[in-house]
Structure 1
């Protein structure tokens, strides 16, 4: 078959598919403007994705508009807390039309209310593993324990640096979707989870102080009962010899 004929057929097929085009941009903060970009086959949705990274008391946010898949918007808000000081949050709004407009995407305030669950906790950079040496009390809707690894890109001035990271902690169940990776772009930081090593429902928190107190009270009660029994026995034995 002649090359020109193959080109003609492919062009006709692409015209028949009528590929979607979406606005393409990214920026720190909560707004960006970009040019329209044709989507690849399989990308059937225009998405506006808002990400947030909280490091200790410092917060960073970023917005991303791009072509994506419709499944990327079905998980709703995704959050995870890794180690003691890192929280990643993400939400997306999608539309399968080119005139998506400036539809806003929001992240509600972070819910710091403890939910009675807890998970092993650790975080390490320049590594693909970390050992949990503490327990993290889960908050809000984070009801699963996760162990994840991936890539972290961060800006130092105008220079972009890339490294690996690993973390354990609490997460919403939607983070554990095995069909697709989870990425959180927040302007200065961009976390891309490549592997979910573990994901399971978080167990109920065991308060060691309460357990210790209950154990102490049980031991004290048993000691008092034993002392009472011995005193009664000694009293009966003494009377039997009178």
Structure 2
């Protein structure tokens, strides 16, 4: 006959499994997904669905769906990232039932330019050598830099983008442009670095030399 302690342990394990949330863990492009059910770790308390729309002028936009376990503070958030001519818009939606899934896969997006300009790039090096200045769109108010790596080849990239302000406080994001994953934290600035100080420095030197010679 099992001891009372053994019985209590079995009950505890059974209860833990009973109260653990089960979520789909899947990633698809162009269609919805509801496969690969997993029991969430107890550190997660919600099922999240990240719907992403990536568009490039002149091309058909691509929509992807990523489902996984998550935390409530991730819920009901939107973010966008722009790099050169590529625009990424994403929305994170949540549900709290076993194997639940969000059916509304619409992503609201704005491509209207605002008054913020950023130097953008995505280069397989530790520094951007040929950044392109672009006008940010929609609610993008920050110039953001970060390190990334290709999800398949693991090649490291340096990226600079326009982004919404909430990206600056995110420890990670589910989707990035070009099928890359975040390798470093986000570094944020309000605008592209100014070229004026660099241009004025040689002028200041010439003026100083003229004063010494006069």
Structure 1 length as normaliser, TM-score?
0.66
Aligned residue for 2:146? 148
Greater Cα radius of gyration, structure 1 or 2: 1
Gaps of 5+ in 2: 195-214
CA distance in 2, matches of 1:23, 1:175: 25
- Of the candidates 176, 189, 192, which is equivalent to residue 181 of structure 2? 192
Q: Is contact 1:63-1:185 (8 Å) kept?
A: no
Q: Is contact 2:167-2:186 (8 Å) kept?
A: no
CA distance in 2, matches of 1:123, 1:105: 28
Q: 1:128 to 1:98 in 2, by over 3 A?
A: farther
Deviations 1:111-133, CA, capped at 9 Å, x for gaps? 221111111222213x3432464
- Is 2:69 the counterpart of 1:106? no
CA positional deviation for 1:55: 4.6
| Structure 1 runs of 4+ with >6 Å offset | 5-8
Aligned residue for 1:181? 172
Q: Is contact 1:92-1:105 (8 Å) kept?
A: no
User: How do 1:3-152 and structure 2 match up within 5 A?
Assistant: 9=9, 12-13=12-13, 15-16=15-16, 18-55=19-56, 57-58=58-59, 59-74=61-76, 76-82=77-83, 84-98=84-98, 100-108=100-108, 110-125=109-124, 127-131=125-129, 133-152=131-150
Deviations 1:17-56, CA, capped at 9 Å, x for gaps? 7111112322111411214321112111111111233355
Q: Is contact 1:79-1:142 (8 Å) kept?
A: yes
- Is 2:201 the counterpart of 1:201? no
Q: 1:152 to 1:89 in 2, by over 3 A?
A: farther
Moved more, 130-139 or 111-120: 130-139
Gaps of 5+ in 1: 154-159, 206-242
State the SS of the aligned residue for 1:27.
Answer: strand
Q: Is contact 1:50-1:90 (8 Å) kept?
A: yes
Paired residues, what number? 188
Deviations 1:171-216, CA, capped at 9 Å, x for gaps? 00111114x2113178xx533223235202337x9xxxxxxxxxxx
Deviations 1:132-187, CA, capped at 9 Å, x for gaps? 6432111111111101111222xxxxxx5442222112100111114x2113178x
Q: 1:25 to 1:197 in 2, by over 3 A?
A: closer
Q: 1:14 to 1:70 in 2, by over 3 A?
A: farther
CA positional deviation for 1:85: 2.5
CA distance in 2, matches of 1:102, 1:139: 27
